[in-house]
């Protein structure tokens, strides 16, 4: 157990003196009761240097005070070099005692546990809203006229033809299919009531205009046009057309199924040297319904898929000179 005593005084530093000896033996019980104490203090502490005074045991504090008082009262110290000093008397463990404002260090409880700071609001756990959260990507938007917009993959699917798209600074949208063919969308119009979208645009060279309307009909105006229909095309109603092209040298690759009824036309081409390759199945029902119609010379129709014609419908009709129709698939009328 340590005891600390603070003695403040004006001490003359020019004093010289002899050393001193202190023999301290102090044993305490667990109750703090002293057993033996033997301390030897210097007879004239005024002759000691400040460093020697600091090493005095605490039991000598009264002797030091008595010897310094005459210096302070008589003023004799003014003839000497003086300074303000804090005399720190040692205890028996050679620890200095002072009035330091630093808080005491709490005793070690021999525990390695690190205290956990409390969470704000007691037990409330604040959810992490930091930048590490991964946002949920938007789902593809499916329109009722067979168009799917996928903003995550940056793709636009018209029927079953998939195009990658890029939004341009002028508001247009550039399309490109897997074969490298390109087109541009100049108009994007959504019918929120019926959940359909109408598209209008041009070919990459600006020679061909195309439209895809709210009814899912593809209308193309211009020469040297190629259309690939890979998905199922359903055309129903008078005046409805699945794919309509006005121009020479048009090519339509119909690999998907074509279902026409109610007086509609599946494929309608006006122009010379048109070619239609129909590898998918074709079903035509009802009067005035036509699966493939071409108005122009030198038309070529290749039918490798099966056709089912009923209730007054027409499978293929070509109006023009030098037409060729190759029917390699079965036809049921």
Average pLDDT over residues 118-146: 73
- pLDDT tens for 167-215 read 999 999 999 999 898 999 999 999 999 999 999 999 988 889 999 999 9
Residue 35 has pLDDT above 50, yes or no: no
Scan for tokens 């645009």, then name that residue: 201
**Lowest-confidence pick of 95-104, 235-244, 249-258:** 95-104
Q: What is the predicted pLDDT for the residue at 285?
A: 97
Average pLDDT over residues 318-331: 94
Q: How many CB atoms lie within 10 A of CB 197?
A: 21
| Contact indicator for 253, 226 with CB cutoff of 8 Å | yes
Look at the pTM and tell me if it is higher than 0.75.
no
Phi, psi of 231 (to 5 degrees): -100, -175
Burial class (CB in 10 A: 0-12, 13-18, 19+), 282: buried
| Whole-angstrom Cα Rg for the chain | 53
Q: What is the predicted pLDDT for the residue at 73?
A: 45
Q: What is the predicted pLDDT for the residue at 121?
A: 52
Q: What value does the mean pLDDT of the chain take?
A: 77
Residues with Cβ < 8 Å from 322, sequence gap 6 or more?
297, 298
pLDDT-derived band of residue 110, with 50, 70 and 90 as boundaries?
A: low
User: Which token pair is 240?
Assistant: 């409805």
d(CA 91, CA 4): 7
- pLDDT tens for 243-296 read 999 999 999 999 999 999 999 999 999 999 999 999 999 999 999 999 999 999
Residue 36 has pLDDT above 50, yes or no: no
Residue 129 has pLDDT above 70, yes or no: no
Q: What is the predicted pLDDT for the residue at 123?
A: 57
Q: Look at residues 249, 251, 219, 247 and name the one whose alpha carbon lies nearest to residue 235.
A: 219
């Amino acid at each position: 157990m340590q005891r600390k005593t603070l003695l403040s005084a004006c001490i003359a530093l020019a004093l010289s003196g002899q050393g001193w000896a202190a023999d301290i033996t102090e044993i305490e019980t667990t109750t703090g009761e002293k057993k033996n104490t033997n301390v030897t203090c210097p007879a004239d502490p005024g002759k000691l240097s400040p460093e020697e005074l600091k090493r005095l045991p605490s039991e000598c504090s009264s002797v030091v005070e008595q010897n310094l008082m005459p210096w302070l009262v008589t003023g004799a110290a003014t003839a000497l070099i003086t300074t303000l000093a804090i005399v720190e008397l040692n205890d028996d463990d050679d620890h200095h005692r002072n009035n330091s404002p630093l808080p005491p260090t709490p005793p070690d409880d021999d525990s390695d546990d690190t205290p956990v700071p409390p969470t704000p609001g007691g037990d409330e756990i604040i959810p992490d809203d930091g930048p590490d959260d991964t946002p949920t990507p938007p789902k593809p938007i499916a329109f009722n006229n067979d168009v799917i917009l996928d903003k995550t993959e940056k793709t636009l699917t018209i029927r079953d033809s998939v195009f990658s798209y890029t939004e341009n600074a002028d508001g247009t949208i550039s399309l490109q299919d897997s074969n490298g063919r390109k087109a541009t969308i100049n108009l994007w119009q959504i019918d929120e009531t019926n959940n359909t979208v109408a598209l209008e645009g041009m070919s990459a060279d600006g020679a061909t205009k195309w439209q895809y309307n709210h009814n899912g009909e593809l209308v193309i105006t211009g020469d040297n046009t190629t259309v690939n229909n890979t998905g199922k095309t359903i055309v129903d109603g008078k005046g409805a057309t699945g794919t309509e092209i006005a121009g020479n040298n048009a090519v339509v690759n119909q690999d998907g199924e074509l279902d026409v009824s109610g007086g509609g036309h599946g494929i309608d081409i006006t122009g010379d040297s048109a070619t239609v390759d129909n590898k998918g199945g074709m079903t035509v029902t009802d009067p005035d319904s036509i699966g493939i119609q071409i108005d122009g010379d030198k038309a070529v129709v290749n039918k490798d898929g099966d056709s089912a014609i009923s209730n007054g419908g027409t499978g293929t009709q070509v109006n023009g000179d030098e037409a060729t129709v190759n029917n390699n698939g079965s036809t049921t009328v």
